[in-house]
Amino acid sequence: MAAAMHQPMSAEGRPAGPERLSPGRRLYVALQYALPQHALSGLMFRLTRLRLGPLTGLAIRVFAQLFRVDLREAAEPAPRAYASFNAFFTRALREDARPMAAAPDALLSPVDGTVSQAGRVDDERLIQAKGRGYGLGELLGGDEDLTLAFRNGSFATLYLSPRDYHRIHMPVDGRLRRMIHVPGRLFSVNPTTVAGVPRLFARNERVICLFETAFGPVAVILVGAIFVGSIETAWAGRITPPRGHRISNAEYGDEGPVLARGAELGRFNMGSTVILLIPSDSVRWSPDLAPEATVHCRSRIGTITAAC
């Protein structure tokens, strides 16, 4: 975990610079600056909702083979059962496919995915990738109170690839207090782009869900990406599209819905990223929660250490 919790150092003891990308990977990243990211994502939103009968089933079979999707885990494993590609992409799993960690002090993974980074927030700075960091305040849309709440706290950044299950679940019991939609860019969130685009998670569109829990506030941040045609939550439905230009802030207070740990919180269309923020001294990450590690939804990724 030390590598994820501290700035990487060079052999000479100086902070390591950003990862050097190959020419091909640099070109791939550079092209994303020029692409009409929102227009392409809007097109994907429409295409994935087309009902094309046998063609939809064929597209799903090809996708499942290409990305090695295990359809045996799905509540409905037959490709022909899905009316649209989006219905398949946001598919439910069998009830026994993701058993929930039973220990009451277990912090659960909200998603299936891969660990990008995890560790401590260094004052107000998070690690994005080797040699790259970004500010807590800018991630939280400039909200000073939230920034103070998670200063020197803990974070985990979890990447969902196209093959993964794309519903998001609660890591702990909590009451929704606020939901903040921060408009932004839609860079890809795959490892190459994360290594190549400075401050990516503070630049991309995101939905910040703030929950009050037995040990303080917990933020579950749903980060958009190119071709993520929609971000939805269990209480408000579809948040994007439409895509605005100003930060919107919904206050729920004591009237916010209470969600049990393991319950569905929201869902993505296509691959994206979830960032967890936990207050200082409230959680101890599991030793195997290291970059590139695989995590499964509702499995233990940490131990709650604060009094509940």
Instruction: Clarify whether 38 is annotated catalytic.
Output: no
Q: Which of 162, 189, 166, 159 is nearest to 62 (CA)?
A: 162
Phi, psi of 45 (to 5 degrees): -55, -45
Q: What is the pTM of this model?
A: 0.91
3-state secondary structure of 46: helix
Whole-number pLDDT of residue 192 = 93
- Which one of the listed residues 112, 143, 164, 173 is annotated catalytic? 112
Q: Is the pLDDT of residue 225 over 60?
A: yes
Is there a contact between 272 and 46 (Cβ–Cβ < 8 Å)?
no
pLDDT tens sequence across 114-152: 999 999 999 999 999 888 999 999 999 999 999 999 999
Q: 3: pLDDT confidence band, cut at 50, 70 and 90?
A: very low
Q: Which tokens hold the place of 97?
A: 């496919």
Q: 6: pLDDT confidence band, cut at 50, 70 and 90?
A: very low
Instruction: Clarify whether 164 is annotated catalytic.
Output: no
- Which one of the listed residues 154, 164, 169, 282 is annotated catalytic? 169
Instruction: Clarify whether 169 is annotated catalytic.
Output: yes
More confident residue, 270 or 214: 214
pLDDT tens sequence across 100-119: 999 999 999 999 999 999 99
The mean of the pLDDT values for the chain is 90
- Region 229-252: mean pLDDT is 86
The structure tokens 């046998």 sit at 54
